[in-house]
Amino acid sequence: MPFRAIRADKTEAGQDVRFVEMDESELMDGDVTVRVTHSTVNYKDGLALSGKSAIIRRFPMVLGIDLAGFVEASARPDFNLGDEVIVTGYGLSETHFGGYAGKARVKGDWLVRLPVGLSRSEAMAVGTAGFTAMLSVLALERRGLTPAAGPVLVTGAAGGVGSTAISLLAAKGWAVIASTGRASEADYLKELGAAEIIERASLSAPARPLAKERWAAAVDTVGSTTLANALSQTRYGGAVAACGNAGGMDLPASVAPFILRGVSLIGVDSVQCPMPLRLEAWRRLAADLDRPKLAAMTQTIPFDETFEAGRRILKGETRGRLVIEIG
């Protein structure tokens, strides 16, 4: 039976991204077929939906880097008909058909069983953004950092990663300093648990090699000069988890924070994250996330509004998380 999908096709003029009707025979190889019920709109999705991004590495490509649904067919003994599952990363929407479709066929090795206590909709309210935020928190914890060390900075605070990171860190007792370019979101960020709001512009100027020590840790979603400033103001022995590049891929920084203050820069990858760490992150998300806060940062939209949501997220006009009802 045909199903709707958002597919990118290569044309002489570039990329043609639109809704299409597809058949199950057109799906890519895999040993588990999932009936997709929910997906998300992340910044990366916005780029792909624009038809102007280079993140798609093969064509045609069904977009959507996240999906949640239930198993419709399985060639594996560990996944059975009706099992509720989620998939994030692993090249969805880049090299393998993603979640913006009624069905997806994937490798069973990519599947995570829906954690107890989370609905499929809530899992997509978490999605890659929330999963990345949890990986960042775990990275700081593995460095031995605790709230007793001092405050934690979160950049890009009103976005999906930032919003989830604030909620997770505040719940663990951290004093969260939220950096945002949207002063109108101050009340929203404080409701999530932010103790202090600072202007994005304060981290946008060229960074000094070392600046006054302000925070013990940071979760950075921006990169470029913002990350450089975050590093230069991190306290002795602190750490910065870098998980995004919304402000650029460059890093105009000095070695001074590393060799004079013992600061650590930790890279966070959500795409090829090993399964043991992936499962730990989802377990912690199910246990630690404040459900009312998750609901407060989430907007659910119908499949038809995906393109408009993609445009809004690229313009910085969204807050928190966007969940798409596919089914």
Q: What confidence category does residue 319 fall into, taking pLDDT thresholds of 50, 70 and 90?
A: confident
Residue 231's nearest CA partner among 250, 248, 253, 246 is 253
- Computed over every residue of the chain, the mean pLDDT equals 96
Choice between 327 and 20, residue whose per-residue pLDDT is larger: 20
Average pLDDT over residues 61-82: 97
- Core vs surface per residue 203-213: b (16+ CB within 10 A) or e: bbeebeebeeb
pTM of the complete model: 0.95
pLDDT of the residue at 114: 97
Fold designation for 128-267: Rossmann fold (3.40.50)
pLDDT in tens, 20-49: 999 999 999 999 999 999 999 999 999 999
Rg, C-alpha atoms of the chain? 20
Residue 198 in tokens = 């600072």
Mean pLDDT confidence for 108-114: 98
Strands 176-180 and 194-199 come out as parallel
Average pLDDT of span 235-261: 96
Using one digit for the tens of pLDDT, what is the confidence trace for 142-164? 999 999 999 999 999 999 999 99
pLDDT level of residue 133 (50, 70, 90 thresholds): very high
Q: Which helix (H) or strand (E) holds 275?
A: helix 275-288
**Identity of the residue numbered 307:** F
Higher pLDDT, 197 or 54: 197
Confidence of residue 232 (pLDDT cuts 50, 70, 90): very high
CA pair distance 302, 305, nearest whole angstrom? 6
127 and 66 Cβ atoms separated by less than 8 Å: yes
Residue 291 scores a pLDDT above 90: yes
Q: Return the C-alpha torsion angle 54, 14, 11, 35, nearest 10.
A: 40
Q: Tokens in use for 261?
A: 């203050």
Q: State yes or no: pLDDT of 283 exceeds 90.
A: yes
Domain range list for the chain: 3-114+297-325, 128-267
The CATH code of domain 3-114+297-325 reads 3.90.180.10
Phi, psi of 119 (to 5 degrees): -85, 165
